[in-house]
Amino acid sequence: MPERLAQHKLRQPISHRRPRGLFQYLFRFIGPGFVSGASDDDPSGIGTYAVAGASFGFATLWTALFTFPLMAGVQFICAKIGMVTGEGLAGVLKRHYRSRILYPTVLFLVIANTINAGADIGAIAAAINLLIPVPPHLLIVPIAILIVVLQVWGSYKFIANTFRWLTFSLLAYIGSAFYAQPNWHEVLCATFVPQFKKVDAEFLSLLVAILGTTISPYLFFWQASQEVEEDIAHGKHTLAARKGTTKAELKHAAWDVNAGMLFSNLVMYFIILATGATLFTAGKTKVSSAADAAQALRPFVGPFATTLFALGLIGAGILAVPVLTAASGYAMAETFGWAHGLDKKPRRASRFYILIAISTGIGMLINFTKLNPITALVWSAVLNGFLAPPLLVLIMMISNNRSIMGTHANGRFLNILGWAATVVMFAAAIALIFTWTQ
């Protein structure tokens, strides 16, 4: 095989054993894009979707269809940047743009991710409490330690495989929706015909929250960095070796990203469906968290659906918290030139892992303050809502810059999706400001 073909041989998931059974067959094709999609359904997102269903029934089901192509387009662009440049987003920004753009972006990203991670840790504890009668505050510290240990001392192969298995926990939400036995005619109408029965500040705020929790800045950084990690796991340890990609690799990444975003939006769809069919119908419209939604489902659907909902919340949180803190670690390490990567031993990337531990620790401590976890999530969503639009502009500039991307610069279709997502997120940020003035 010629050297060039050997260098750019199509990447496959780390395990090369012949698959046995359906799950192992699917497991082989779960890559960074699928993990990104699954981690997007973190407890904060689950809580947002549960509130949407409880507050407005099926009225927001159409948003799952609307956000899917925008999410898929943006995430594939981020994946492509990582594959072509051999660097994460922060590394590309540092190399090609001024530091006054990079530093505030990374700072706000780390703050938002830390708050979000802390609220997610609290949600994991609350979900465990639904299954085991242990006070949530006693679970906070063990959960945080477990997550840090997984990231610091687990090998990249172990971490990647763990993340892949955790994605399947989100299937619980689809199961709980079917247990709810909704009116399928109403469901189909709400899915394909946008409904704006009560357009007020509350409804508009919820739409903004849905957009903010589905098209999130931390996923941009995570996606690009994980494409780099995949290259490193396949022997490309230098920047020169990682630079460049092939059409076959990009096609594989596109399938991976599209599958991940589709899975993410299916979970979102069925959470809204389940809570809309039960809580909204029964007049239980005030839900402050995903754990509350799981508990509230019990009298209407039965204990098994509540168990499914809680299990999905636990799996989603354990998947999302490491993604949030690692995304901060990648961004900071690339910004300041630190050694980084989940494939590296702690002594070789100490500052990278210390930042992950500090971010997790601060997030954990939020649960012991008087700050309401939902309030914390709102403020992290606000930061993400204002960070995403300008960051999307930078991503679109990078992906259209032929001096950076070469022949893999965006085509017309990707530009339409990318710029549409940018416009929508700017509109969401403006709408959020509008709701504050009401």
Query: By mean pLDDT, which of 134-138, 351-355, 377-381 is the weakest?
Result: 377-381
Predicted confidence at residue 218, as pLDDT, reads 86
The average pLDDT across 243-265 equals 88
Per-residue model confidence (pLDDT) at position 5? 40
Range 32-436 classified under CATH 1.20.1740.10:
yes
Query: Is the pLDDT reported for residue 170 higher than 80?
Result: no
pLDDT tens, position by position, 74-123 = 999 999 999 999 998 999 988 888 788 889 889 988 998 998 899 889 88
Average pLDDT over residues 380-389: 78
Write the pLDDT tens digit of every residue in 400-414.
999 999 999 999 999
- Condensed to tens digits (0 to 9), the pLDDT of residues 278-332 reads 888 888 777 776 677 777 667 666 677 677 777 777 877 887 888 899 899 999 9
Note the pLDDT of residue 133. 85
Task: Average the pLDDT over each of 24-28, 162-166, 343-347, 404-408 and give the range with the smallest value.
Answer: 24-28
Residue 145: partners with Cβ closer than 8 Å, 6 or more residues away: none
* Average pLDDT, rounded, for the chain: 81
> Percent of the chain beyond pLDDT 70?
81
Q: Which of 19-23, 68-72, 265-269, 302-306 reaches the highest mean pLDDT?
A: 68-72
Of the given ranges (22-26, 42-46, 202-206), which has the lowest mean pLDDT?
22-26
What percentage of residues in the chain have a pLDDT greater than 90? 24
| Per-residue tokens: 241 | 């070796």
Q: What is the reported pLDDT for 130?
A: 82
- The pair of three-digit structure tokens given for residue 417, joined into one six-digit string: 């999706």
Question: Cα–Cα distances in Å, from 12 out to 43, 174, 227?
Answer: 30, 28, 12
pLDDT band at 386 (very low <50, low <70, confident <90, very high): confident
Which residue ranges make up each domain of the chain? Answer: 32-436
3-state secondary structure the chain: CCHHHHHCCCCCCCCCCCCCCHHHHHHHCCCHHHHHHHHHCCHHHHHHHHHHHHHHCCCCCHHHHHHHHHHHHHHHHHHHHHHHHCCCHHHHHHHHCCHHHHHHHHHHHHHHHHHHHHHHHHHHHHHHHHHCCCCHHHHHHHHHHHHHHHHHHCCHHHHHHHHHHHHHHHHHHHHHHHHCCCCHHHHHHHHHCCCCCCCCHHHHHHHHHHHHHHCCHHHHHHHHHHHHHHHHHCCCCCHHHHCCCCHHHHHHHHHHHHHHHHHHHHHHHHHHHHHHHHHHCCCCCCCCCHHHHHHHHHHHHCHHHHHHHHHHHHHHHHHHHHHHHHHHHHHHHHHHCCCCCCCCCHHHCHHHHHHHHHHHHHHHHHCCCCCCHHHHHHHHHHHHHHHHHHHHHHHHHHHCCHHHHHHHCCCHHHHHHHHHHHHHHHHHHHHHHHHHCC
